[in-house]
Structures are given as structure tokens and as C-alpha cells.
Copies of this chain bind each other. A is one copy, B any other.
Amino acid sequence: MSRPSFSEFKKKALNNPEVQDEYQALNTTYELRKNLIALRQESGLTQEQLAAVLHTQKSNISRLENANSKNSPKLSTIEQYAHAVGYEVKIEFIPINHT
């Protein structure tokens, strides 16, 4: 119960950018955010232009792209975004290692 606690270790580790990347690579929401932004930029659209395609507002696009852990979008929302930038959505299930 003394000695550096695990929560403290974790806290420090999460300040290391590399650890952060590895850690959050497992975070589906974080991965999603990265991909959505990349796809939009690939398509050459601004948030405002994409919003127009989807008949919505740029603020909503920004919110989706910045979805934090407390905000989980609907699957249909992700699909609409994807279609607008020319992509189909596929959900993969990857087995978790139980060592």
C-alpha cells in the first residue's frame, strides 16, 4: 500500500506521448476521431463544406471529430459522415488476448 501506486505510475505513463499513442490506439473512439479527420482532409472538404453535404452545421462536424470519451456517436452518424467522404463503414471484432 506504500510505494508508488499503480495509479500514479499510470498517470506518469500517460504523459509519455508514445505510451499515449499505444494506449489510445486501443481506444476505438480515439482511432475513429483520427480516421474521420484524415478522410475528410483526403477528400479536400472543410468542416463547413462537409456539413453542407450532410445538411447540418460545421459545429456538429467538429463535435463528432472531437468526440471525447464521454461522447459516443451513433453508428448511423459515423456512416453518414463516411458516405459523404466516399467511404463505407465496416465493423471489425478483434479477439482480446486472455493470457
Contacts and interface: CB of A to CB of B under 8 A. Distances in A.
Interface of A: 26, 28-29, 31-32, 35, 39, 72-79, 82-83, 86-96, 98
Contacts of A94: 87-90
A53 to B, nearest CB: 14
A77 B76 CA distance: 13
B93 A89 contact: yes
Contact of A91 (B74, B78, B95, B96): B78
* Residue among A32, A76, A86, A93 with max Cβ neighbours from chain B (10 Å): A93
A88 B78 contact: no
A65 to B, nearest CB: 14
